[in-house]
Copies of this chain bind each other. A is one copy, B any other.
């Protein structure tokens, strides 16, 4: 495998992430905290694993864009949830796709769908493969054969409408390649999920991904101007419109459809000018109730119409883990940005709201925030440093998996009035499960996005596990968390999607008759049920 190739069992590309020395240091740190393994186990070797023989072969016309190479099949077996990485790390690859298709254009996507339709082969649409909910998994009960349909070669910006600030973009483009193509035009999508480097535009749209903006434009949804979707029944192309009141939105049927209705091949996306005015600050909320007081201040901020682009409230545990605090206080990280006008008055008013809400410190302004910054960040650039750490986190998790440490997250959203009780219940249920199942561990919380009517809390679990029992242990913890979330009135996912893993929670959350309507819509668009069975609905 060449240097820089995608790692088949874990995050990112071979050779990136922590060096062996850094991995050792991470292992020592967690060993000191949890008594876990000091020596990370070596990663799995693909040449030592026997993959089942492919059950189908592509027609000659598709041979050039369909592969059954072991790296391709192993790399497309799972997504990148904790559970996925553990299984891949163990070398458990019982049900890889029989073939992986890498269509080079939309005609080849259609040809793959035609082949699979005629041969009764199940198709799993695959963007960057970063699903953490089993959305691209190819172990599909009852499937005659499975093709993973990797859109990664559809990676170009096809057209730019500078006046309307929009672009027609192929769905398989990864985050960095997308931004690289927009930058010369002074434009940006400004959608930076944690998976940014290894997730695609089509994946973001199919999963209602959460991005850069903490308020207002939180999900990708609002940036979609129109879609082009290949369904087994034919092409769906919606009209490019800034808005419409003509019936239920066709785009919204496909946004969040997770590959069960069709394969998104292109989208016209609404873009932003690159911001030139920025202000940022961090604010402390002290004491045992600091997080809840911080939440109350954030509520007022979210209802103020100030629209911060960053409004990340970290509980003391989360602040400590990320280096923003010592574990004694909650921290609110605030950011404002604009391509048009100064943001100092907005930040000042936001800090006033925080002070009124009992913030301990008057708000530390980030020194460099007033000046334009490169998106990539630089030395001495706290936002950039945070962003790099944020993007590194999945690499670190690979090390933790090698040390048999459970490292996983889950997220939800809940109205403000329910938040205090809800949060306590989710924290207690999760912590109790962690201690019962693992004997030790931490549960931390931050807000990733906030709304006038509620918040999106994001929970991170870190706990030692018994090698070999990681998945059963995590399953028990996750079940406790899901129960608290669903019972408490939250959503099973704010921006990680449903996939196969969240089905039990989703089935309790969504109205039964909506599932009936969705099944009916699927039958109209995918009459043979080729696409991603088991995701969102059973057919």
Contact = CB atoms under 8 A, between A and B. Distances in A.
B252 A252 contact: yes
A161 to B, nearest CB: 5
Given A163-B417, A415-B166, A246 B493 contact: yes
| Chain copies in complex | 2
A524 interface: yes
A301 to B, nearest CB: 9
A225 interface: yes
A219 interface: yes
A3 interface: no
A68 interface: no
A375 B338 CA distance: 31
A413 B246 CA distance: 11
A415 B161 contact: yes
Interface in A413-427: 413-418
Nearest to A342: B345
B453 A516 contact: no
A245 B516 contact: no
Given A164-B453, A165-B453, A338-B305, A513 B525 contact: yes
Given A305-B338, A524-B517, A493 B252 contact: no
Given A253-B253, A523-B520, A511 B236 contact: yes
A221 to B, nearest CB: 8
A519 to B, nearest CB: 7
A521 interface: yes
A349 interface: yes
Contact of A247 (B164, B418, B495, B510): B510
A440 B136 CA distance: 63
A528 B127 CA distance: 40
B250 A510 contact: yes
A225 B491 CA distance: 13
A253 to B, nearest CB: 5
B208 A245 contact: yes
A185 to B, nearest CB: 14
A250 B253 CA distance: 9
A516 B525 contact: yes
Contacts of A491: 239, 241, 243-246
A270 B453 contact: yes
A96 interface: no
A318 interface: no
Nearest to A340: B304
A234 interface: yes
Given A164-B454, A249-B256, A453-B270, A516 B524 contact: yes
Nearest to A449: B243
A245 B454 contact: no
A127 to B, nearest CB: 15
Q: Which of A252, A349, A492 has the most CB of B within 10 A?
A: A252
Nearest to A248: B256
A231 B513 contact: yes
B242 A219 contact: no
A497 B523 CA distance: 27
A494 B417 CA distance: 34
A233 B516 contact: yes
A489 interface: yes
Contact of A305 (B340, B414, B497): B340
A257 interface: yes
Q: Which of A165, A299, A416 has the most CB of B within 10 A?
A: A165
A456 interface: yes
A237 interface: yes
Contacts of A209: 245
A138 interface: no
A258 interface: yes
29 contacts: A165-B452, A166-B415, A207-B245, A219-B243, A219-B245, A235-B513, A236-B514, A239-B489, A242-B416, A242-B451, A242-B456, A243-B454, A243-B456, A243-B494, A245-B494, A245-B495, A246-B256, A246-B491, A246-B492, A246-B497, A246-B509, A247-B536, A253-B517, A273-B303, A513-B525, A516-B525, A519-B524, A520-B520, A520-B524
Q: Which 4 A-B pairs have the closest CB atoms?
A: A242-B454, A242-B451, A520-B520, A208-B245
Given A239-B509, A241-B454, A247-B257, 11 more contacts: A165-B453, A216-B216, A240-B415, A241-B491, A242-B452, A243-B454, A245-B493, A245-B496, A303-B340, A305-B307, A513-B525
